[in-house]
Amino acid sequence: MKLMNISIALAVAFGFAAVAPAQVIIRHGHRPTVISGPTNQTGLNAIQSDLISAIGSMKSALPIYDGNRVRAIHAAHNALVLVDHAIAGARAAKRPSPTVTDHVKFANAKSKYNQQQIAASQTSMEEGLNYLKLAYRDLEATVGSTPNKQGIKAGELIQKSEREAATALALHGNRA
């Protein structure tokens, strides 16, 4: 009888022990900032790289997009910050916010820049938009069908950035 009681107690203890590693322990009130349940480090690194490339491409474009380029860059930067936190947690390095302006109005762009400069700027914006689309596809592949709040927010920011970049391209005749 004693052996049976001990066996039952051990079975229950092993049952709890088997489930315990799957639980998240929150210490000192900090919640983990993971974009999805099981993190895919390679996918997060790909998203990070895509967003850095998108921001760089859009920053190299001319300041002729009536604020759409700026809003696209800032939305992509905010998504990048979320990805940084998903990768490194609380110890993620703080990325400085990009300081960009679209100080030349769309209507005045052709008087300030020639057609080749505007075409090169459009190419940079298109490249940035393509990187944003790639970042969103990588995000979908990384988070799967069960994203958490950070994953959803990152997706919304990337989509906002895509819309703003597409609007900027449309101002000067989108070739994409």
- Taking only the tens place, the pLDDT of each residue in 7-51 is 555 454 444 444 444 444 344 444 444 454 445 788 899 999 999
8 A C-beta contact, residue 76 and residue 129: no
* % of the chain residues with pLDDT over 90: 59
pTM metric for this prediction: 0.76
- Taking only the tens place, the pLDDT of each residue in 64-80 is 999 999 999 999 999 99
Size of the chain, expressed as the number of residues it contains: 176
SS3 sequence of 112-148: HCCHHHHHHHHHHHHHHHHHHHHHHHHHHHHHCCCEC
Tokens of 123: 């190419």
- Residue 4 exposure: Cα atoms within 13 Å on the Cβ side: 1
How confident is the model at residue 23, as a pLDDT?
40
